[in-house]
Structure 1
Amino acid sequence: MESITSFSVSLIKGFVDSLRGVTVLLYLDKEINERALSRSPQTDADSKHKQKQPKVRQESKVLTRVLQSCILNGFIFLLSILVFEYVLLPAIKYLVMVIFGHDPGVAHNVWAWMQPFLLMTFRMIWVLPLFLLSKLVNSLWFQDIADSAYRHRRGRPQFMSSVSKIIADSLFSLLVQALFLVQSMLVSMLPLTYVGELLCLIHMCLLYSLYSFEYKWFNMGWELHKRLTFIESNWPYFVGFGLPLAVLTQIPQSYIISGCVFSIFFPVFILSGNEATPVVGSEYPLKLFSPVVAISNGMFRFVRQGAESVTQNR
């Protein structure tokens, strides 16, 4: 009974903490700007008296970056897809049916040819370039949001000891996250009613929690193994934390639309993760990341051995 209570408390605390970013967003810029003003540099006018230099206001851009992300991913990207699929395509279909109304069979044949052509053209000319552009721009904006929030709460980031270590950790993290996403897709195919879907949801909750907290942990100098172990050891809290974003992104059937939804709401979860204090002390660690970490280690080891053998042969 105590374990169930502890699990429930951790789950609910994680869920509530994940929503804190909404309120943080309303006052964070003001606090950052006020602190910047209060810490404006001072210089000695003479040996006895000090005069403050004119205060230079350094405007925080957290709210601006969040709004820019919403505009790019919501009003430009997502809205254009919805307008094309639910307004423009039905209108074109209606025109085809009107033009060839005398022969419904011809109308259906023409539309059966036009629809995939229009979809492919729209996706190649508009969706794919904008998707790649949004990924690049979002990564810069998300990093800007995370760094501003971290410096305000914790001061200067404590990066890892060397640039090579940072690069290796980042590459290994990307590989682990990609394999973990594949693992979540595989467990969703389990032929057990609701079990596969539940396991997939838990995977996505933990993955989105990792995304949200990784900015803070990286700035704290935590290596990937420490970040993953912390999530596995305190998984009830992180399941609750990632639950809102996991549910929101699973509602759309389209991967592209799901990505837009993620990009719209994710900045709020970055702020929530920066403010949150996770509940620790779970009795039963959930080692869901361990399989993909083992596979990633094997792949890196294989690549390193291959590179060493090529070097020796030269």
Structure 2
Amino acid sequence: MESFTNFSVSLFKGFIDSLRGVTVLLYLDKEINERALSRSPNKEAENRQKNIKVNQESKVLTRVLQSCALNGGIFWFSILIFEYALLPGVKYLVSVVFGHDPGVAHSVWGWMQPFLSMTFRMIWVLPLFLLSKLVNSLWFQDIADSAYRHRRGRPQFMSSVSKIIADSLFSLLVQALFLIQSMLVSMLPITYIGELLCLTHLCLLYSLYSFEYKWFNMGWELHKRLTFIENNWPYFLGFGLPLAVLTQIPQSYIISGCVFSILFPLFILSGNEATPVLSSDYPLRLFSPVVALSNGMFRVVRQSAEAVTQRNR
């Protein structure tokens, strides 16, 4: 009974903490600006310091609005316009032009619709999707760095650049494999079990995304970040639940990506403010299989590189 109570409290606390980003966004910029002004050495330099420091530090609200404008106002809206305005309009014109023969109109539209959809995806959706991923990563980093400096001061990075690069590459591989693992467990032929396991994976993965900026700035290596999530998984299950559910609602992967990109900045702020509930009685080692697989892949690559180097000597 006590274990169930602790699980419920941790889950609920994580869920509530994940929503804090909405309120943090409303006052964080103001606090950053006020702190920047308070550092001005004298009144003569106040105006100059105000402009410099606000431009350097007050990026949170701007970046969140830019992310919403790019992912929702441009990307998502353009897809909706194409699907629900342009395609129906072209279909109507085809029916008007070939109105005397409905069979011909149906046949013409049968090959035009896939062609138009494919052309739209190749010329507009795919390039904009890739561009938005790149731009979002830069904006998300700005949001995380500004929030972290305001709350905790200067980041405590890892000891060397090579370690940072290796940690980042290994983290990307682990996250990609973990996403594949979540898709595999969703295929289990047991009613609702596969979906529940997939949702659990996504909750933990989105929690990792949200907290990773803060933990990276704190100098935590990947194994420490993953172990912390596995040991305190009820909290992170609750924290990632809102984003996991909201991104699962759209049927389209592209639309789901737009929803994620619009909401994710708020979860970065929530993660920066949150203090996870510790509950390491029953660790959930879901990351362990992909970590072992990633280690094996890196070991094979390293051995192959060493073999090539020896042959070239």
Deviations 1:175-232 (A, max 9, x none): 0000000000000000000000000001000000000000000000000000000000
Deviations 1:146-168 (A, max 9, x none): 00000000000000000000000
Residue from 78, 81, 87 that aligns with 1:80: 78
User: Aligned residue for 1:71?
Assistant: 69
Q: CA RMSD in A?
A: 0.9
Give yes or no for contact 2:6–2:279 (8 Å, CA) kept in 1: no
Secondary structure of the 1:192 match is: coil
Q: Does 51-60 or 105-114 show the bigger shift?
A: 51-60
**1:101 CA displacement:** 2.1
Residue from 220, 224, 227 that aligns with 1:226: 224
Question: Aligned letter for 1:28?
Answer: L
Give yes or no for contact 1:236–1:282 (8 Å, CA) kept in 2: no
> TM-score, normalization: structure 2?
0.96
**CA distance, structure 2, for counterparts of residue 242 and residue 285 of structure 1:** 17
**CA distance, structure 2, for counterparts of residue 2 and residue 236 of structure 1:** 14
Residue from 134, 137, 140 that aligns with 1:139: 137
Question: Aligned letter for 2:189?
Answer: P
Report how many residues are paired.
Answer: 305
Deviations 1:22-65 (A, max 9, x none): 0000000000111111122x4xxxxxxxx665121122011010
For the structure 1 residues 308 and 53, does the alpha-carbon distance in structure 2 shift closer, same or farther, using more than 3 Å as the test? farther
Alignment of 1:290-305 (within 5 A): 290-305=288-303
Structure 1 residue 54 corresponds to structure 2 residue 52: no
User: Aligned residue for 1:215?
Assistant: 213
Q: Does 277-286 or 168-177 show the bigger shift?
A: 277-286
**CA distance, structure 2, for counterparts of residue 163 and residue 128 of structure 1:** 32
Unaligned runs of 5+ in 1: 43-50
Q: Structure 1 runs of 4+ off > 4 angstroms?
A: none
Give yes or no for contact 1:10–1:237 (8 Å, CA) kept in 2: yes
**CA distance, structure 2, for counterparts of residue 91 and residue 191 of structure 1:** 42
Question: Aligned letter for 2:3?
Answer: S
User: Aligned residue for 1:45?
Assistant: none
Whose helix fraction is larger, Structure 1's or Structure 2's?
Answer: 2
Give yes or no for contact 2:231–2:284 (8 Å, CA) kept in 1: yes
Deviations 1:63-110 (A, max 9, x none): 010000000000000000011011111111122122222222211111
User: Aligned residue for 2:248?
Assistant: 250
Secondary structure of the 2:176 match is: helix
Give yes or no for contact 1:74–1:260 (8 Å, CA) kept in 2: yes
Residue from 96, 116, 119 that aligns with 1:118: 116
Question: Aligned letter for 1:201?
Answer: L
Secondary structure of the 1:160 match is: coil
User: Aligned residue for 2:193?
Assistant: 195
**CA distance, structure 1, for counterparts of residue 105 and residue 165 of structure 2:** 56
**CA distance, structure 2, for counterparts of residue 283 and residue 52 of structure 1:** 56
**CA distance, structure 1, for counterparts of residue 262 and residue 279 of structure 2:** 32
User: Aligned residue for 1:271?
Assistant: 269
User: Aligned residue for 1:46?
Assistant: none
**CA distance, structure 2, for counterparts of residue 288 and residue 97 of structure 1:** 54
Unaligned runs of 5+ in 2: none
Percent identity (aligned): 85
User: Aligned residue for 1:127?
Assistant: 125
Residue from 162, 166, 169 that aligns with 2:164: 166
> TM-score, normalization: structure 1?
0.96
User: Aligned residue for 1:19?
Assistant: 19
